[in-house]
């Protein structure tokens, strides 16, 4: 599969634990996005990378959230001190560098905080 | 701030009928409007998109219309089939060389096509 891949697909964690998710975008795509989707809602933008630079962060992204894309390829999203409200599907998407082009989504990581 | 409203939230049609989903966006600078289909437990997948320099686009049974003045855009599916059943999301973004191109999504429409 040459699409966007995310790992793990599912994560169950206890409240207060830290979790880290990984996203591998389509190889030639330099734009990478993280979104969060809760049940019955559309995906909500969290953060954006162009190559290795994190250029925008949503106010939804509290201090407990951090994202990296160290070499401009894969990205990680870490949530520290997880809370039950963090339970959601975390989606990664990538697109080419040109404007107004399709964003390709990964399968997502479903996080459940118990 | 940026906002996209989507209606209806659920839509049930008989197989062969048409389905229409409508969205309204708030940011007049938006110039790219994709529609995504998401089946249960799967990733959102692009089914059609339209840019602000075009008023209508069609791809087989799917069409999208855009009214920039009213800031409305709509998805039309004709001759619906059971496999069209899914959640459909509209989105809007501001696309230019320096922009994030982040997508602002609507809340989704659950389409059920009854055989």
Average pLDDT per 10 consecutive residues for chain B, totaling 115 residues: 92 98 94 95 94 92 96 97 97 76 95 96
Question: Could A48 and B97 be called an inter-chain contact, meaning their C-beta atoms sit closer than 8 Å?
Answer: no
A-chain residues near B40 (CB < 8 A): none
Edge-to-edge order in the sheet of strand A19-24:
A5-7, A19-24, A75-79, A65-68
Question: Could B34 and A103 be called an inter-chain contact, meaning their C-beta atoms sit closer than 8 Å?
Answer: yes
Task: Give backbone dihedrals phi and psi of B84, rounded to 5 degrees, phi first.
Answer: -80, -10
Question: Could A42 and B102 be called an inter-chain contact, meaning their C-beta atoms sit closer than 8 Å?
Answer: no
- Positive or negative, the Cα torsion across B1, A97, B89, B30? positive
Give the tokens for residue B110.
Answer: 């659950």
Question: Could B46 and A103 be called an inter-chain contact, meaning their C-beta atoms sit closer than 8 Å?
Answer: yes
Kindly identify which residue of chain A lies nearest to residue B103, measuring between CA atoms. A45
Please, are residues B73 and B88 in contact by the beta-carbon 8 Å criterion?
A: no
Quote the pLDDT of residue B1. Answer: 67
Q: Which A residues, 59 through 88, put their C-beta within 8 Å of a C-beta on chain B? A: none
Q: Which of A64, A70, A63 is nearest to A49 (CA)?
A: A70
Question: Could A100 and B42 be called an inter-chain contact, meaning their C-beta atoms sit closer than 8 Å?
Answer: no
Please, are residues B93 and B30 in contact by the beta-carbon 8 Å criterion?
A: yes
- Coil, helix or strand at residue A85: helix
Query: Band of the pLDDT at A101, cuts 50, 70, 90?
Result: confident
Quote the pLDDT of residue B98. Answer: 63
Quote the pLDDT of residue A99. Answer: 72
Residue from the list B32, B36, B89 with its beta carbon closest to the beta carbon of A100: B32
Task: Give backbone dihedrals phi and psi of B102, rounded to 5 degrees, phi first.
Answer: -65, 150
A-chain residues near B102 (CB < 8 A): 33, 45, 48, 56
Distance of alpha carbon A37 from alpha carbon A39, whole angstroms: 7
Query: Band of the pLDDT at A78, cuts 50, 70, 90?
Result: very high
Residue from the list B103, B106, B107 with its beta carbon closest to the beta carbon of A103: B103
Distance from the Cα of A33 to chain B's closest Cα (Å) equals 8
User: Based on C-alpha coordinates, what's the Rg of chain B?
Assistant: 14
């Amino acid at each position: 599969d040459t699409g966007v891949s995310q790992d793990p697909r599912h994560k169950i964690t206890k409240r207060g634990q830290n979790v880290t998710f990984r996203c591998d975008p389509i190889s030639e795509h330099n734009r990478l996005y993280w979104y969060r989707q809760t049940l019955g809602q559309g995906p909500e933008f969290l953060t954006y990378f162009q190559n290795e630079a994190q250029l925008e962060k949503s106010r939804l992204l509290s201090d407990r959230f951090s994202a990296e894309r160290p070499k401009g390829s894969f990205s990680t999203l870490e949530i520290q001190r997880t809370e039950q409200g963090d339970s959601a599907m975390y989606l990664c998407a990538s697109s080419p560098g040109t404007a107004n082009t399709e964003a390709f989504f990964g399968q997502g990581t479903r996080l459940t905080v118990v | 701030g940026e906002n996209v409203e989507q209606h209806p939230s659920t839509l049930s049609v008989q197989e062969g009928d048409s389905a229409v989903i409508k969205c309204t966006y708030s940011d007049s600078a938006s110039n790219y409007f994709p529609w995504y289909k998401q089946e249960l437990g799967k990733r959102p997948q692009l089914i059609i998109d339209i840019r602000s320099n075009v008023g209508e686009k069609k791809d087989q049974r799917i069409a999208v219309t855009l009214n920039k003045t009213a800031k409305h855009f709509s998805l039309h599916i004709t001759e619906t089939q059971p496999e069209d059943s899914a959640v459909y999301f509209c989105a809007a973004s501001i696309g230019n060389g320096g922009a994030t191109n982040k997508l602002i999504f609507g809340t989704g429409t659950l389409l059920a096509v009854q055989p």
